[in-house]
């Protein structure tokens, strides 16, 4: 980074943040801005609210809330519906959010989360998406154990025999799921592979209810995988995070315990890409 010259003529490096950056005490925060962001965030979750309702629900005076809303309106972040006499999030909020999404890389955001997941479980962490009816693995953080799962980036795997694949299928809309299953060959890779569409749909309902899926030696004998879905801002499952390992370590008795950090990692990545951790209704 190039150096700058201050008023005394001495050189110094340009800084992206000032000294005392870690100090989050009141002296380093702007209370009025913090209050405005509180109103803005609340309105984003409860759109179409009149002023009096907003002030009552937030426990703030109507005058204060009104000044905040008018200020945000001037920036296009909120807008007022004169006919209904209610406030909504404005178009400028979408523009700013879209800029965030453009700079957000799923893989980059996932790496530190996957690393923590691997350390928490001791098993290999994986990231995958759906690609033309198959799971495409994008990234992997390998365990240090000698026996481990290996899915290098670019690997494709059938969705019906994959933890990530089933996590994505479980949250797919019914019409798309039916089309995919109608065109897919539910191949048997092991004696545990689910090859019957009716049985697979039953398994997907269980996955949706529990929040995680299990590849129970359905692709490779002796290997087990636990996965959870990652949702975007439209509450669509766009990716999955999983841990994979030998059944000697990822035993059936360990599935419930290991599922918790997997679900937490998927929720963290969902929030990191601006998604909603609440899945769509069934």
Fold match between domain 25-98 and domain 104-272: no
| CATH code linked to domain 25-98 | 1.10.10.10
DSSP tally for the chain: helices H, then strands E: 9, 10
Place of tokens 């398994």: 203
Q: Is 144 exposed, middle or buried (0-12, 13-18, 19+ CB in 10 A)?
A: exposed
In this predicted structure, what is the pLDDT of residue 25? 56
Q: Where are the domains of the chain?
A: 25-98, 104-272
CA–CA distance, 203 with 13 (Å, rounded to integer) = 58
With vertex at residue 120, the alpha carbon angle to CA 115 and CA 123, rounded to the nearest 5 degrees, is 75
pLDDT in tens, the chain (282 residues): 444 444 444 455 555 555 554 555 556 668 889 999 999 989 987 778 999 999 999 999 999 999 999 999 999 999 999 999 999 999 888 888 777 656 668 999 999 999 999 999 999 999 999 988 899 999 999 988 777 777 778 888 999 999 999 999 999 999 999 998 888 889 999 999 999 999 999 999 999 999 999 999 999 999 999 999 999 988 999 999 999 999 999 999 999 999 999 999 999 999 999 898 876 666
CA–CA distance, 214 with 161 (Å, rounded to integer) = 9
How many CB atoms sit inside 10 A of residue 136's CB?
17
In this predicted structure, what is the pLDDT of residue 7? 44
In this predicted structure, what is the pLDDT of residue 5? 43
- b/e map of 252-275 (b: 16 or more CB within 10 Å)? eebeeebbebbbbbbbbbbebbeb
CA–CA distance, 140 with 149 (Å, rounded to integer) = 10
Beta-sheet pairing, 124-131 with 134-141 = antiparallel
Joined tokens for residue 118: 């691997």
Q: Is 201 exposed, middle or buried (0-12, 13-18, 19+ CB in 10 A)?
A: middle
Joined tokens for residue 151: 């899915």
Where residue 173 falls (left for φ over 0; alpha for ψ -120 to 50; beta otherwise) is beta
In this predicted structure, what is the pLDDT of residue 102? 63
C-beta separation of 220 from 108 below 8 A:
no
Joined tokens for residue 24: 């989050």
Joined tokens for residue 121: 């479980």
Highest CATH level, class, for 104-272: alpha beta
How many CB atoms sit inside 10 A of residue 126's CB?
32
Joined tokens for residue 123: 């098993």
In this predicted structure, what is the pLDDT of residue 8? 44
């Amino acid at each position: 980074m190039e150096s700058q010259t201050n008023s005394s003529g001495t050189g110094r490096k340009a800084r992206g943040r000032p000294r005392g950056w870690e100090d989050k005490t009141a002296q380093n925060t702007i209370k009025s801005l913090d209050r405005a962001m509180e109103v803005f965030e609340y309105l984003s979750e409860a759109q179409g609210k009149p002023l009096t309702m907003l002030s009552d629900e937030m426990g703030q005076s109507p005058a204060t809330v009104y000044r905040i809303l008018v200020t945000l309106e001037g920036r296009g972040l909120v807008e007022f519906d004169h006919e209904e006499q209610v406030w909504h999030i404005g178009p400028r909020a979408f523009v700013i959010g879209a800029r965030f999404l453009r700079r957000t890389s799923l893989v980059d955001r996932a790496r530190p989360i996957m690393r923590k997941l691997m350390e928490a479980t001791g098993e290999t962490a994986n990231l995958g998406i759906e690609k033309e009816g198959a799971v495409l693995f994008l990234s992997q953080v390998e365990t240090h154990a000698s026996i481990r799962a290996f899915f290098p980036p670019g690997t494709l795997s059938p969705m019906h025999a994959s933890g990530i694949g089933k996590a994505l299928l479980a949250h797919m809309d019914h019409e798309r799921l039916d089309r995919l299953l109608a065109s897919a060959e539910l191949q048997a890779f092991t004696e545990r592979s689910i090859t019957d569409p009716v049985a697979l749909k039953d398994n997907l309902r269980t996955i949706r209810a529990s929040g995680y899926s299990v590849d129970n030696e359905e692709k490779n004998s002796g290997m087990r995988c636990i996965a959870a879905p990652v949702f975007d801002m439209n509450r669509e499952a766009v990716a999955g995070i999983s841990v994979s390992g030998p059944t000697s370590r990822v035993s059936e008795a360990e599935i419930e315990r290991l599922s918790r950090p997997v679900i937490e990692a998927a929720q963290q990545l969902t929030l990191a890409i601006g998604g909603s951790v609440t899945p769509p209704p069934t």
